[in-house]
Amino acid sequence: MKVEFYKHSLSQTDKENCLQVLDSLFLTTGKVVEEFERKFAKFLGVKYAIGTNSCTNSLIMALKCIGVKAGDEVITSPMSFVATSNAIEQVGAKPIFVDVSDETGIIKETEIEKAITPKTKAIIPVHLYGQMCDMKKVKEIADKHKLKIIEDACHCIEGKREGYGVGELGDFACFSFYATKNLTCGEGGCVVTNNLEYANWLKKARIHGINKNAFQRHDKNDYVHYEMEFLGFKFNMNNIQASLLINQIDNLLGNLQIREAICKVYDEAFDDHPLIAIPDVKKGSRHARHIYTIWVSPVYRDEFLTELKKAGIGCAVNYRAIHLMQYYAEKYGYDYDDFPIAEAIGDSTITLPLYPSLTDNEIKYVIQKVDEIAFRLAKKYE
């Protein structure tokens, strides 16, 4: 049996929407992107959404938007994809890691305050696996120290915590529409904000800092020049990407229900398992169920991955701790024991297949193989 790690759920409607764009004049940023932005902002309950080409570039723009620069510090989690801290590096600032909870893998909100220095400008909380950080707590700390919040919401479009959704308490929230995300167009991203001044800046920043993109110029009867107001980027989303996303928004909550049902079956199998641990879901949290991760012994985690691959089961590691990646370890001298919980999770985590089209048989097969491999490896290393 072969169980893919991920299969997208693009529908016939998504494909037809895409064909319509391909048959139209405007492939680049235009009306379709605007439609996506309106619909996505409405889904989240935020004022402005700015379509981009990735979450990484959305994070970079958000950091630039609030003036983060060389010499500044930004607090974030060592248990994330490297993109989160890379964005901080890209604007010349220093990522300051705060260790994570051993129950959830999410940054320990209560420890953030201890990492604040006069150089700190912002916090990037990461809503890991699909579970939101305690944003009320993060906001309380940010407000007290006059810091900005940029949420890394790549895993968490559908998440909520104590009634708040992503992007509601942060100054910005950044999203990815990468190939394996709950909402995908292969590659793409978005940054949302409730601040009009930020939104206006971001709209120009994503297209070189110019004040009229090609569509806005084309739409006029007279020839209109654009002005370049400041040094921006080339991070705009195009109509092809947007066409694939628009209709998927309607299916987000339905697909979440399907993933919730799959996670329930996984949870029943692994909750009381003697060799496997699973992250907690906190009370008051609506988990977006983006990634289903199990934690196994670091002694045989890598062998476990190979065994799963051999059994035809797609798997991944989300994530090895960022500070131990060669670049960060060499640049900042990080080693084991600097952020022990992130390290322990990074060395024990395995992500299992999770997507709406996963069949009952596939789920059963994954559970059976995980259980078999766990006992086999535990015996080998006892």
Answer yes or no whether residue 54 interacts with ligand PLP by CB under 6 A: yes
- Side chain identity, residue 352: L
Size of the site for ligand PLP (CB under 6 A): 14
Q: If you search the block for the tokens 């990646």, which residue do you land on?
A: 325
- Segment 105-144, which members bind ligand PLP (CB under 6 A)? 126
Identify which of 321, 337, 357 has the alpha carbon closest to the alpha carbon of residue 76: 321
Candidate residues 36, 81, 172, 235; the one interacting with ligand PLP per rule CB under 6 A: 81
295 forms beta bridges with 277, 349
Answer yes or no whether residue 178 interacts with ligand PLP by CB under 6 A: yes
Q: Which stretch binds ligand PLP (CB under 6 A): 12-20, 149-157, 207-215, 342-350?
A: 149-157
Least distance to ligand PLP from the beta carbon of 367, Å?
A: 25
Whichever of 87 and 246 has its CB closer to ligand PLP, that residue is: 87
- Which H or E element spans position 30? none
Extract the tokens encoding 298: 């670091």
Whichever of 82 and 299 has its CB closer to ligand PLP, that residue is: 82
Q: Cα–Cα–Cα angle for 115, 117, 122, nearest 5°?
A: 75
Candidate residues 56, 104, 131, 193; the one interacting with ligand PLP per rule CB under 6 A: 56
Q: Which stretch binds ligand PLP (CB under 6 A): 4-12, 60-68, 148-156, 258-266?
A: 148-156
Candidate residues 152, 158, 171, 307; the one interacting with ligand PLP per rule CB under 6 A: 152
Q: Is 207 helix (H, G, I), strand (E, B) or coil?
A: strand
Q: How far apart are CA 149 and CA 133, in angstroms?
A: 12
E runs forming strands in the chain: 48-52, 73-76, 94-97, 120-124, 148-152, 160-161, 164-165, 172-176, 189-193, 285-286, 292-295, 349-352
Whichever of 185 and 263 has its CB closer to ligand PLP, that residue is: 185
Query: 164-165 and 160-161 as β-strands: parallel, antiparallel, unpaired?
Result: antiparallel
Least distance to ligand PLP from the beta carbon of 320, Å?
A: 13
- Segment 243-302, which members bind ligand PLP (CB under 6 A)? none
Candidate residues 155, 204, 208, 259; the one interacting with ligand PLP per rule CB under 6 A: 155
Answer yes or no whether residue 39 interacts with ligand PLP by CB under 6 A: no
Extract the tokens encoding 39: 């619909």
Least distance to ligand PLP from the beta carbon of 80, Å?
A: 5
Answer yes or no whether residue 84 interacts with ligand PLP by CB under 6 A: yes
DSSP string, 340-360: HHHHHHHTTEEEEP--TT--H
Least distance to ligand PLP from the beta carbon of 303, Å?
A: 25
Q: How far apart are CA 92 and CA 79, in angstroms?
A: 21
- Side chain identity, residue 196: L
Per CB under 6 A, residues contacting ligand PLP are 54-56, 80-81, 83-84, 126, 152, 154-155, 176, 178, 189
